[in-house]
Structure 1
């Protein structure tokens, strides 16, 4: 993969590597490094630093070093998770002796632009799709036989995301820092500040919701990248224009998002395009927090199974606000998140892909 910094794919890779080690496998991650390398190595995996993150023709110079490395490591399975590393790895792998080379697996984490560069993710011997909508994207755009694709949802670590994970001391510290949250019905909007993530729509939802009731407060959890700080200012300007300065708070990046899920009355997912998976949805559901999301993409798949009452018409903030009002009026909420959204299932299903591929004839 490209690097091991922040992000859902990176965190999922570190968690999966840890589980491999627990099961007695040797786990090696090749990337350009990052803040999560220390955790990865502390949990028993080996990290090899290689600048495979660059989307540049210069990266082709890494093909031969990668081939030598693979010949030295002799792994049973190579698993690629991103396009630039996949190109380097595939070009190195395909020149290894067919009879002895590792089996090659890819995970398609996104619905990338359809072109020759993205097509590399479909050249593996077997493909993992992280949702049904990604599965459909692969088959419809690249003509891949479904027998070469397995849908495996990205699994949640139950030790982090579980019901009743709220901590009273944490709550008291939060109320000291943000007294405006106390005695309010809280709606949380998680995700980095980005135009497609839907923070502008969240402000519209809060504007409509405040017309229906006065006991709510919105919390935006996430920060803008360094080159997108202007977008934060746009959001603050819109908050002021809608008269929401005392109704919506931006708390920036937080490492304790699971506690916000447990505190919140509702988690909101408002991306303005279909997401491949939408990890915040099952995360919040696993913490016992109801989620409202637009009915499209991977984000809707977990809601269809675990909490269908949280689905609303896409791109309709007013309908979103009405649904929030309805849910806040309920005395009880029933959430049933299936096991296939948890890490144990992801590990077992992925190892099953590995084993089936290792047993299959070579040379396809």
Structure 2
């Protein structure tokens, strides 16, 4: 089969799960001898994308304006000139523009159209575009079930089960190796930066400072364990949401009001989360709304670190596969705290090896979809 020419579309290349997945597929395409092209308005990840062998086309299809839809003419000319085999849309507005361009082309001259549903968007005609692909990739069973429930074939006749493929996100075991230990230099620097850790047991809550991530439940759990005589410290690992600075102020004020300033540490955004997972005695996932996947649960579990989490959405899938002991009902902070205690007392089973949620498997299965469509 001749090498494929694949275009992925998304709003920007700055940070986030969609962006990471785009680069991962681009890298795999290049490694397999295919042509990889990504279209976005740009961002800090463009340099990495190009360094890894892909081409970038700068076009802003993420600006929420009626004028953005008119870009379909530009895209149609691009599709015709470049003769892509596959166009893969990963976000709603770029998907709409791409679909408008694609549907107006002769069937025998247009690329094949793929979409990935990365999250559980609001149910609407606007969101339904993510189900318009000739193949629709869902990043978890949770997302597939969400699609089936809200876009049933009775109302969306084209969206048969055969069009939907679940391809879970995956991680590279070399990036998050099991039983990884940080260097002595890193340990010295981190403890110097955060002397509150001392010799205490470390509980970690990763994720941006947004209300959905369950920081108040985390504070409640840490406070209760301290009241019970456990020598623990809580790490809140994540940057503030610039759009909602009031929430970060709210949780910081609560920590101070409850006298937990030395027991709950705000690290801000970190690029060394692997090392932080490695020194954590337990990682928590306390989101109030279901995650479409749950990467911050998978990463520490892949390293063999126990995770306690509210069992809904993609987090429930990952815990069921790798560490069922860590699953508690959504919102049950008391049960979560009790599981943490058992983990700290070495009463929990070992985390199972990750053999399902693997990066190379995700890459291979995605490219297999491209090949099947192109042939």
Name the TM tier (shorter chain): over 0.9
| Kept in 2: contact 1:266–1:292 (CA 8 A) | yes
Moved more, 209-218 or 122-131: 209-218
Asked whether the equivalents of residues 302 and 354 of structure 2 are also in contact (C-alpha less than 8 Å), the reply is no
Give the C-alpha shift of residue 148 in structure 1.
0.8
Partner Cα distance (1:40, 1:105) in 2: 21
* 2:369 aligns with one of 353, 356, 360: 353
Q: 1:80·1:86 contact (CA, 8 Å) conserved in 2?
A: yes
Equivalent residues in 2 for 1:1-364, closer than 5 Å: 1-143=10-152, 144-163=159-178, 164-330=180-346, 333-359=349-375
Between stretches 313-322 and 107-116, larger displacement belongs to: 313-322
Structure 1: state its 5+ residue gaps: 360-364
Q: 2: CA distance between counterparts of 1:185 and 1:165?
A: 16
Q: What's the offset of the Cα at 1:332?
A: 7.0
What are the Cα deviations for residues 206-230 of structure 1, in whole angstroms up to 9, with x where unaligned?
1222223331100001111222222
- 57-66 or 162-171: which moved more? 162-171
User: Which structure 2 residue ranges, 5 or more long, are not aligned?
Assistant: 1-9, 153-158
TM-score by length of 2: 0.93
Q: Is the 8 A contact 1:107 1:129 kept in 2?
A: yes
After TM superposition, the score normalised by the length of structure 1 is: 0.96
Give, in angstroms, the shift of residue 165 of structure 1: 4.8
User: Would you tell me which structure has more helix in proportion to its own residues?
Assistant: 1
Comparing 187-196 and 280-289, the one that deviates more: 280-289
CA distance in 1, matches of 2:38, 2:241: 26
Shift of 1:201: 1.4
**Residue in 1 that maps onto 2:4:** none
Shift of 1:197: 1.2
Does structure 2 conserve the Cα–Cα contact (< 8 Å) formed by 1:186 and 1:264?
A: yes
RMSD (Å) for aligned C-alpha atoms? 1.3
